[in-house]
Each structure stands twice: as C-alpha cells, then as structure tokens.
Chain A
C-alpha cells in the first residue's frame, strides 16, 4: 500500500456564481488614511506591506483623510469629477451607438473612471502611456477631442486610424497615448523600452505601462518587470485589477495567495495597492510613482483595486458568470459618487450643480456625436478609402503591395 493517495488538481473558483449572494468578504479593506506615505526614495524592502494593503483617502463620510490627502485643490478636483462624468457619458452614448449598429464593438469604463482620469493628472506633456483598451480616460482627461475618438469608433472618413483598427483602439503621440494592440501585455514591456530610451537620451519624459489583472499571466508581464528592475527604468507599471478577465475571476491569474502588487516585490520594485475608486488616492499614488521616476529612482508597480461594473465589451454577457447585483455590493463604491460627495462636503459642489453639469456634459457628448456621425458611421456615410488598406504598411510602398492595390482597382 502506497503511503500517498492519488493527486488531484486545484482549480480556483470565485466565491459566488449567478444566483448566489454577492460576497466580497475576501477583499480586506483598511480604514481610509491608515496606510503610511513613505518618502519617494524609500528602500523598497521597507514598504513591503504597501503591496498587501490598500491606500485610501476618501472615507465613508466623504472626508479626505490621512497622509496621502491634501494634494489637490477644489478646482483640480472639480475638473477631475468632470472628466469622470464625461467619460461615463461618452461610454453611455457609444454603447448605445454600438447597439444601434453604428459601430461593431465598444468597451466601457463603468466603475473604473477614476483610475485613468486621476492618473493622467500626475503626468506631464512629453510622458507616454502604453495603455490597454480601458484607459480612454487618459485621453479625456488630457482634453483630446471627443469627436476624434468617435471618428475612430465609427471608422469614418475622419478616423485617425483610417479604418484599420478596432473601435476604441485609439492612438495619439501628441497626447502621450501609444497605439493600442488587441494582443495582451505586449505594450507593457514596450513602455519599459520607451522609458529606457528616455533615460538613455538623458531626457525628462517618463512612461506608464497598463495591464489588466488577467493579463499579468502573460510572459510579457514578467519580462517587463525584469527589464524595469534591471535597468531602473523611469516607468510606472500599472495593474488595473477590476476582478474579472472577461468571465475569468482574478484568482485564476493570481492564484490563491498574495496580491498582484506583490508580484513586484521579488524584483525589488516598490509596489503599492490603491483604492481604484478613490480619485484622490489614485492621484496621490500616481504622483508618488511619477516623482520616483522623474528623480531617476526607477520603476514603481501600482495595483488599482476596482470593479468592472459593465460587461467586458459589447460582446460579453456578465450575467452568465457572476451575480447580477455584484457590482452594487462592491465595497469601494462608485468613483463618481464618492468624489461628488467629497466635493459637496468641501462646499465646492452641490446636487443642483451636479445635475446641471450632467446635462451639460451629455449635451456636449451628443453634439460631438452628431459631428462625428456627419463624417459617417461603420455602415453609413463617409468611409475611409479602400486605397487606405494598402497604404502605410511600410514607409514606402513596396512593389508587391502596389501590384495588389492596382489589382484591387486603386
């Protein structure tokens, strides 16, 4: 008789499934203001706890508390609120436009608006993001024209990508937004390369890489940490943990213990977890990491703990894999409502002004949509030329592509 029984495979499962009561008892949330704020030149080994806690500024009452508070003025916070509201309104209209058949596909940010909108505020002109498909807030918060974003979504005659890219895969060098790939994690290591180049040229720009919780399983994530750590690249490595990689819960990529932030510890990279639904906390942590990078102190890894309220994309049905009311049970609340409450508490905002702003913002979004639609949508009106298929593969068109273009009649 063998002393060992037969082996069995462990496959992690989320706590609940459709039909069950939502349960976030496993998300340990520290009190707002309870996590210390180290100096930016801190030894990473001394702040290992920050990879397991959650940095929070806004408490349940809407007050900004603790050592990470007090960095933003009323005016800055009001513009931050406006950015988040604009992104939410933009999403709502574009989601509807997709349902109306005006484009093939859309991905919204519902519940995650604070992450990209607040982060953008910590960057300067000349810095570069290498984003995923869920950081359009970087563009909105940098005043990139909504009409241009919509032209891209509609693949119309004014589409900056000339109809070649999936909707929401924007590009803007001018606004520090690298062209988005549908392939996961590839951009993360490219961000490290960009940051290394800036350091090689003794420049001042820093880079930010973006990845979702699921994509941290890709080998490029680990390559990125190796390169960032080895060369002390001036890069901020962002992990947006919104709990779900399409239908797969975050435990599949993470395993049963630790946090995503903790992945940075083995590389000697300072790693922080932050409440991703707290605009003030996100900004404070992003600014800390940006300052480290600008002072040539190297990379920082940040995990944003948040929740994807909407579907992964317009092709996804979350009710098939998680309880319908799960988003309402999310313990870190709604980023827009939390900042609104804080601003009202500060005396800088009111319910009336908020309702008025909502209407104004929606009106601006609708106006932008009208203008974009005047240039065409995916199936109606102006479209990019068929000639655009053949242009831009190389700087100079080689003979074999020229022959194919001519064969196509262009």
Chain B
C-alpha cells in the first residue's frame, strides 16, 4: 500500500493497465514527453515507448476520432482531453460515433475507449478551465460516465474503465488532484497522505462501474454528491451536526439507483449537490428518480445545491462554487420543511 495523490493514482492505473495489456495506448495533448499538464502521464512514455504514449496535435476531435479507429482495430486507447472544457470539439465523435458503434453495427465493431479529462472548478481556472460537463455525457446512451472523489476510487475505477468493453468518460475533479477539499477556499488543501483514502495499492485492482459508496452513514437525511462535492457535503454535515447519510455516486451512468432508493426510503429527506449549473443538470435526473421511486417516503421537497446558471466566473469563483455554507443551508432547509 502506498500513499498517493489522485494524480499519482490515475497515473498508476494507466501504468498498471499498460503493463498488463499491450493493447492499451495513451495519447493526448502534451501527455507524452512532458507527461501532461497535470503530470498524470509522467514517465509512461519513457517506460512504454513513444508508440504507446505520445503527444497529439491540438485537435480534440482528432484525438477521439483516431482513438475510435484504434479501438475498431482492436486497441484500447485511453486518451486525455487537456481540460473537460475542451471536449466540445470532440463531442460529435463521442456522442454520435463512440457511443453508437456497438449498437449500429450490432456488435460487429465496438469502441473500448476511455476519455480522461480534468473537470470542475475551485482552482481559479475561469470560464474555460472549470466546467463540469457530465450532464452532456449522461444524456447520451452508449457512454459510461465516472467521477471519482478520491485516489483509491480513481485508480480502481480507471482500471475498470480501461478494461471496459464500451466507451467511458472519466472526469477527474482537478480540485482533488492533490488532496481532499472541505469547501473552504482560504484553508490549504490537506494532502491525501494524511487521509486513509490516499492509501492506494500499487498493483492491479478494480472497482465495479455503477456502484455508489456510502461515505457517511446517517438516518435523518440523504445527501447525493460526486467528485469534489462529496467532500463539501461531508464538511457541511459535520458543521450542521445533522445526522445525514452521504452517498458518493462515483458512477453517474450507469447509476446505482438501488443505493439511492434504499437511503432516501430510510431517511425521507434528500439534498442533491453538484458543481455544474442547475438547469438541466444531472441533479434534475437524480431528483426525478427520487421522486419516482421514493415519493411516498419523502417528508420534504428534494433540494438541489449547484453552480449558478451562468458561465464560470474568475474573480467570483468562490461565490459560484457550492461550499459547505450553501450546502449546510440546504440541509437545514430540508430538515425544517
């Protein structure tokens, strides 16, 4: 067991996968010689050679499109989009090609690709380095969508994603790359080495896609979150003293509906938290599912805490980003309703 940051865990997942399977290739902008702008691929080119880990032209559609072709050949490409904000030029390839190749060819061709991308805000990244586009992927049948919240999950889930026979979007919350985050921007990030979730096995292990994890047991209320917001939610629960159950979804598509339903049926109250904008965000889907499956157990309306329906501002970032104070107010509101 080693102490790893999420960056190291992600790198370790690719390292382990490339070591086990010669068909795994890694490429993207700056990922080869330099090792990626966040260093997630550092050392992979030196270890596996420049035909298995290499730099790509600045063409996101080209990166995903060539990955699809490689997958059709029989490789397992794991590509990096430098920031989730830059995946839009590749959206056509992802949604209309990668997601549908198995279906439209009745399995004659498949598309086992992984598209990694740093996502979310909280690092003063402004409008073009802070977005959370997960809802744009969860709306697409044929894709899988993963957002880990800690190094252990990041490695186990990324290994599963690389081994998965279908296309997987792997969104890495960059605010968590070096340590967990409690929502208070004035406090320094606590390194993962001080947390047990920074304990990551060095070898191969995997975490099944589609299974949520309960991060905190509770009986009064259910908080549903993923990625960075899991940590914000835990801080808010601690600060309000409400006995809330905190579910870390880990996988948004497929979704662990069973865990959600069991929890909300038990608690009768629910708060959904995500960084992405409110309108048509993934939170809307979660609320609809809770309403469909838990209506007769609900004692209060389900509350959403999200980013605002505006582009991500630079200077006002910490008023945009849902912190423990906003989540705490929502918890109290749900309890008092």
Binding site for B on A (CB under 8 A): 128, 130, 160-162, 164-165, 169, 171-173, 178-179, 181, 183, 186, 188-201, 205, 207, 219-220, 223-224, 226-227, 230, 392-395, 398-401
Contacts and interface: CB of A to CB of B under 8 A. Distances in A.
Given A220-B61, A393-B141, A190 B68 contact: yes
Contacts of B71: 193
A395 B107 CA distance: 8
Given A183-B92, A219-B61, A395-B166, A192 B105 contact: no
Contacts of B255: 400
Nearest to A192: B66
Given A190-B65, A193-B65, A197-B69, A392 B97 contact: no
B103 A392 contact: yes
B75 to A, nearest CB: 5
Given A171-B104, A178-B109, A400-B255, A189 B62 contact: yes
B59 A193 contact: no
B66 A393 contact: no
Given A178-B72, A395-B166, A161 B106 contact: yes
A224 B64 CA distance: 11
Contacts of B190: none
25 contacts: A130-B69, A161-B105, A169-B104, A171-B104, A178-B72, A179-B104, A181-B97, A181-B100, A186-B93, A186-B96, A189-B62, A192-B65, A192-B66, A193-B65, A193-B70, A193-B73, A197-B25, A197-B75, A199-B51, A219-B89, A223-B61, A227-B66, A394-B166, A395-B165, A398-B254
The DSSP consensus for interface residues of chain B is mixed
Nearest to B210: A398
B266 interface: no
B10 interface: no
A190 B104 contact: no
Given A200-B25, A200-B52, A226 B59 contact: yes
A193 B62 CA distance: 9
Contacts of B165: 394-395
Contacts of A161: 104-106
A394 B143 CA distance: 8
Nearest to B22: A201
B69 A172 contact: no
B106 A164 contact: yes
B142 interface: yes
B58 to A, nearest CB: 9
B19 interface: no
B45 interface: no
Contacts of B166: 394-395
Given A183-B92, A197-B74, A189 B106 contact: no
Contacts of B144: 394
A14 to B, nearest CB: 29
Which 6 residue pairs across A and B have the least CB separation, nearest first? Answer: A193-B69, A193-B66, A189-B65, A223-B62, A197-B73, A179-B105
Contacts of A194: 69-70, 72-73
Given A181-B96, A194-B70, A220 B106 contact: no
Contact of A179 (B56, B93, B101, B258): B101
A217 to B, nearest CB: 14
B111 to A, nearest CB: 10
A360 B75 CA distance: 44
A395 B74 CA distance: 15
A394 B142 contact: yes
A297 B80 CA distance: 28
Contact of A392 (B25, B67, B106, B254): B106
Interface string B101-142: 111111111100000000000000000000000000000011
Nearest to B289: A400
B257 interface: yes
Contact of B254 (A172, A197, A219, A400): A400
A132 to B, nearest CB: 14
B57 A230 contact: yes
Interface in B235-281: 253-255, 257-258
Interface in B46-94: 51-52, 56-57, 59, 61-62, 65-75, 77, 89, 92-93
Contact of B69 (A171, A173, A191, A400): A191
For A199, A205, A223, the residue with the greatest tally of chain B CB atoms inside 10 Å of its CB is A223
A190 B89 contact: no
Interface string B141-163: 11010000000000000000000
Contacts of B142: 393-394
A200 B69 contact: no
Contact of A162 (B70, B75, B106): B106
Given A128-B72, A196-B66, A394-B166, A165 B254 contact: no
Given A183-B92, A194-B70, A399 B104 contact: no
Contact of B70 (A186, A197, A220): A197
B259 to A, nearest CB: 12
A86 B57 CA distance: 43
B104 A165 contact: yes
Given A162-B106, A394-B166, 4 more contacts: A188-B65, A189-B61, A190-B69, A200-B25
A410 B165 CA distance: 25
A220 B65 CA distance: 8
Contacts of B101: 179
A171 B105 contact: yes
B97 A183 contact: yes
A130 B65 CA distance: 12
A169 B71 CA distance: 20
B103 A193 contact: no
B38 to A, nearest CB: 23
A162 B105 CA distance: 9
A179 B92 contact: no
B275 to A, nearest CB: 24
Contact of A223 (B65, B109, B164): B65
A209 to B, nearest CB: 9
Given A223-B65, A392-B107, A400-B257, A190 B102 contact: no
A105 to B, nearest CB: 15
Contacts of A199: 51
Contacts of B92: 183, 186, 220
Nearest to B25: A200
